[in-house]
Structure 1
């Protein structure tokens, strides 16, 4: 996102009570992506969000429309409807123009994006009709110091390393460039409207710009625009031109576009499942696919705040979030048979390759190459080695890798790599476990405070338990450590509230606030149950904790229909003008998952309280299922909601989608997805 765009958004949204000026929101529209590019399609316009997945910037802004006898009719000014083609990432947008509907299909395939327009239902009489496309390309994030090369029906926009190509199945009848917006426009009170009128006709304007205004003729009442992003160190110009020719030939029909979309994603759920279940699982697999790079590492969500004005950025891989997602997907695949074995292997390989020499993982990395990304919790990389480290990240990776190993690894080399990685990671985890059986003082999962956190302790219990359940040489040691952590958890109990504390402060006192992250304790105890029996006193604690946390964090604002759980008591992040904590889909999904896990744990102990836990899981799950008040019509789960019901922050966010997927799988496995009275496994 260029500063010019941020300033325009600032002008448009300043004073709005639920908008943060200068961001590029994705709370409307849908994404198409396939491993490297991530394209946001909104009102017919396109924008690339895939830089973290590919290292290539691509399209910064765009507009499409019809030009009838020289007059443009822009689609973003029309009424539109949008949907996905079945369970795929093919986006279909229908624009209601004054002349009739125009259908737009958008499909991303590798580094290419296909946009097909069909106008067979419009009526313009004898008027000359063509498509008009405005594209602003920013190779390497540049909106200046870029140039163009014109190759017959292909335009190449380049800076140094990144070269972006634009082509059409019907060619171009006219192409002109446009230099960046003038300084006087930047300080004007009104946002700039694009494309702008031709300026002073400088001879260099058409060739020293990333902005293109293209006229596309319509042959057979359709045309297809193709954009391709390349790195010149990987793809030579002639190879790119040949690839564009192949793409124009391959995607010159609706059938070809739909067939390519159908082949891109695995079957999400069995046909014998309900429509709601299939829709939910399909949406979760699609979102997680969109956010995943070719390395297997995922971004947390589309980066809506590229200038870090209100957040620390979202277009990176956090090993906590990513490993949790990987474990949830593995569990769900084992139940639904989703055919995602290559996902699990790819994730495992990525974790092995990004592990540091001391056995830990850094705060954040770039998903397209695993290189260290900007962050604020890299104490292990810095001299002094202070508390700015997130120990739960190492615990989460261990839990996934141990479960992946236990499931059986067909690739012998990868298995050996995983074993070595786990042994080194165990040493790192041991080094951050204090003598009292709980983790060191460090940063928390929400990355906003320091202490000895219950959530971090839960990830340690899960990691040690998962390792102890394997046949690895380190299993006995991991078993001993799991027992130590299990006993130490009692030190975090707040008896008069009936919950486990958020953390222990540096001085030794307990932070009594309710925190949704502490719900991870339930799943960790289910992992522990595989190696030891959870005693009755701890079952009572977990039952009380889960229901009390859900009750304490429940919020049902009067001014909207939404309801759900907020993150923790006293959370003011991105609260803006409202006077209450915001509802989070992660927290609500975590509540549903914890209640479902509690139901399964209690049922395995023949405890009748399992029924109540399952009922609570169903209540919370309904909020985030398709059709629920926290699930957008796009099928996406935004990170947060204002009390007004307006979504906010990263959309879609991968973590709640993985939580929903795992919760649906567990509840379906236990027979409580539709009927809360049944909980025991068959």
Structure 2
């Protein structure tokens, strides 16, 4: 998002009760993505690129579409706000406010418009080509003859921002395409029926930017400087309809990787393929993001949504952004378009669990993740704060103490533990002669050294940053992740990994050290030990990590009755204490932690988080499993609680928006907020469904109870 656009949005939304000004929101609309291209199709018809972290190319800052009718019908509804007459007697109908959906299990976005001249359907699909990342928009009349009768053409207004620039941008007008460039990045626009270039333009000038009121798109006249239509990123063009459909494509390339002629040939070939029969649906079905599930997977629609989202957020390296970067200027957040090793490794682990339960065929995903973790590990065995997903290079961050002359206080030790835990579980499934196995084992070995270096004499990790990155201390969540990682390595056994016994011993020490964090007055574990040695007894959803950590430990050691009771009490009390059901809307779920003041806007108290709600469902399921394995009848109650929380983030739940997306947060009035979709809760949702299915717990909202045995 360019600064001019951010300032304009600030003017429009500075007093809005639930919108943070200066952001490019994705809480409504759908995404299409492939090969590093990530495009948001908004309900108002706007198209924007969000793929910079995945590909290194910025692409479209904005794109809009409209129908131009050179022979408008006599009864054209001019009261329709989307319709306007032009001076030459033609009419323009903007394509806004359509009904959106995905085509089958692909990322082909379908938008249906009811216009004053009949139904129109729009298709948007990102496509990976040999020379770069492409995208096709196809607009078709329901009646193919209607386009000819109206003498219709498709108007396209695109603003490209190569390398994120809105100035010092140039254009080349080829015979059938427009090229917009700055330095390395070259962005192309072409139409299947050619392009009639109407004009270009510079970005808003200083007077418009500094004015108190927002400026309208295209309000700045070019004046008499004829060169300006070649010196900006904006392109206005028209293309014709062929057999009732108009098709345009964009292509993002790097001049050092793709020659201009090759890029133009790429576009021609793509447009030819996209206009042949049902080619877009065929292209979508052949894409890497197309999902195919076994029929027996429960909540199959949600599983498709989860896998689609995680594919969309993934770079070709296998690393994922946390979510679309809606706040690129870091005005109200620290950015989301990076890979954090915490949630990325957690996602990898959840996917591994779901794949083992449902046979989803994600072997290549797991291997890419492992390869990426091996390649990004630091010399001391730890992982940095965050990296660019497209190449694993260090990204801007604030918790890289292991790379600086600092202390662990500015380091997030749980991230390293999460990676080690995933790698250990993956190693357990790799054949001993697999070349990747030796590299994974070496990374685990170094990772153990990095973890042990963060342990204090009492068996718990030293003070560091927490999972939410907003506080320091000795956190229960960090302890839980260490317990899980040591347990996962210990479960490998000495025959598979020579330090398994050492890891088992470390797990036992961490298990015992958790007693230091018990708060009997609340019946919960503290969120942290502060620097002065006192316990912070607030409830925090990150402490749900204790549940799967104890179940992992149960595979190599004993979870005694006292600890089981404490874990039951903790998870039960934390779910109850964080549960929020506002009267203003149907939204209900868990807040992140007691006293969470982040992104409240005018609400004045904590917001509901999908991560926390899904995590609570998973924790309740893990406790149900642990109790069932111990023959404890309380298992059924926790299974029930797990299903109830899972329903809140389910396909029909109040925390799920269009496309099956899970936003990070919700206001009490039901307004979604922050990164959408957020990958982490999607992975938790899928894994929790698998967990409950493994436990024999019905998870369908309308599913009949399991009949009793005869």
Q: TM-score when scaled to structure 2?
A: 0.93
Task: Look up the match of 1:508.
Answer: 533
Alignment of 1:176-195 (within 5 A): 176-195=199-218
Distance in 1 separating the partners of 2:660 and 2:258: 36
Distance in 2 separating the partners of 1:661 and 1:117: 34
Q: Is 1:99 aligned to residue 144 of structure 2?
A: no
Change (3 A) 1:643 1:388: same
Task: Look up the match of 1:34.
Answer: 34
Task: Look up the match of 1:343.
Answer: 365
Look up the SS of the partner of 2:278 in the other structure: helix
Task: Look up the match of 2:454.
Answer: 432
Contact between 1:672 and 1:679, CA under 8 Å: does it hold in 2? no
Alignment of 1:20-419 (within 5 A): 20-42=20-42, 43-69=44-70, 71=90, 73-76=92-95, 78-110=96-128, 111-121=133-143, 123=146, 126-196=149-219, 198-253=221-276, 255-264=278-287, 265=289, 267-274=291-298, 277-409=299-431, 412-419=434-441
What is the deviation of 1:430?
0.5
Change (3 A) 1:568 1:537: same
Deviations 1:277-321 (A, max 9, x none): 110100000000000000000000000111100110000000001
Question: Which one of the candidate residues 488, 491, 502 is aligned to 2:513?
Answer: 488
Distance in 1 separating the partners of 2:94 and 2:295: 37
Q: Is 1:462 aligned to residue 484 of structure 2?
A: yes
Distance in 2 separating the partners of 1:613 and 1:36: 40
Report which stretch shifted further, 425-434 or 247-256. Answer: 247-256
Change (3 A) 1:137 1:74: farther
Contact between 1:99 and 1:124, CA under 8 Å: does it hold in 2? no
Distance in 2 separating the partners of 1:421 and 1:468: 15
Look up the SS of the partner of 2:119 in the other structure: strand
Alignment of 1:518-597 (within 5 A): 518-597=543-622
Distance in 1 separating the partners of 2:666 and 2:28: 14
Task: Look up the match of 1:6.
Answer: 6
Mark the runs of 5 or more structure 2 residues left unpaired by the alignment.
71-85
Look up the SS of the partner of 2:682 in the other structure: helix
Distance in 1 separating the partners of 2:277 and 2:565: 58
Deviations 1:20-41 (A, max 9, x none): 1000000110000023010000
What is the deviation of 1:419?
1.1
Task: Look up the match of 2:18.
Answer: 18
What is the deviation of 1:533?
2.2
Change (3 A) 1:431 1:72: farther
Look up the SS of the partner of 2:502 in the other structure: helix
Distance in 1 separating the partners of 2:413 and 2:11: 41
Contact between 2:297 and 2:358, CA under 8 Å: does it hold in 1? no
What is the deviation of 1:179?
1.2
Distance in 2 separating the partners of 1:635 and 1:600: 28
Deviations 1:117-172 (A, max 9, x none): 11243847854321000000000001111111122101111111111111111111
Change (3 A) 1:595 1:268: farther
Distance in 1 separating the partners of 2:199 and 2:302: 44
What is the deviation of 1:250?
1.4
Contact between 1:79 and 1:96, CA under 8 Å: does it hold in 2? no
Look up the SS of the partner of 1:176 in the other structure: strand
Contact between 1:27 and 1:651, CA under 8 Å: does it hold in 2? yes
Change (3 A) 1:126 1:476: closer
Alignment of 1:611-650 (within 5 A): 611-650=636-675
Report which stretch shifted further, 149-158 or 287-296. Answer: 149-158
Distance in 2 separating the partners of 1:482 and 1:678: 38
Q: Is 1:420 aligned to residue 421 of structure 2?
A: no
Contact between 1:60 and 1:137, CA under 8 Å: does it hold in 2? yes
What is the deviation of 1:677?
8.1
Question: Which one of the candidate residues 468, 473, 483 is aligned to 1:451?
Answer: 473
Distance in 2 separating the partners of 1:333 and 1:342: 11
Distance in 1 separating the partners of 2:332 and 2:415: 23
Change (3 A) 1:152 1:679: farther
Question: Which one of the candidate residues 626, 629, 633 is aligned to 1:604?
Answer: 629
How many residues matched? Answer: 677
CA RMSD of aligned residues (A): 1.8
What is the deviation of 1:195?
3.6
Look up the SS of the partner of 1:156 in the other structure: strand
Contact between 2:317 and 2:391, CA under 8 Å: does it hold in 1? yes
Change (3 A) 1:39 1:74: farther
Change (3 A) 1:409 1:308: farther
Contact between 1:671 and 1:679, CA under 8 Å: does it hold in 2? no
Look up the SS of the partner of 2:66 in the other structure: strand
Distance in 1 separating the partners of 2:66 and 2:91: 6
Distance in 2 separating the partners of 1:336 and 1:491: 39
Task: Look up the match of 2:78.
Answer: none
Change (3 A) 1:386 1:545: closer
Change (3 A) 1:411 1:222: farther
What is the deviation of 1:528?
0.8
Task: Look up the match of 2:524.
Answer: 499
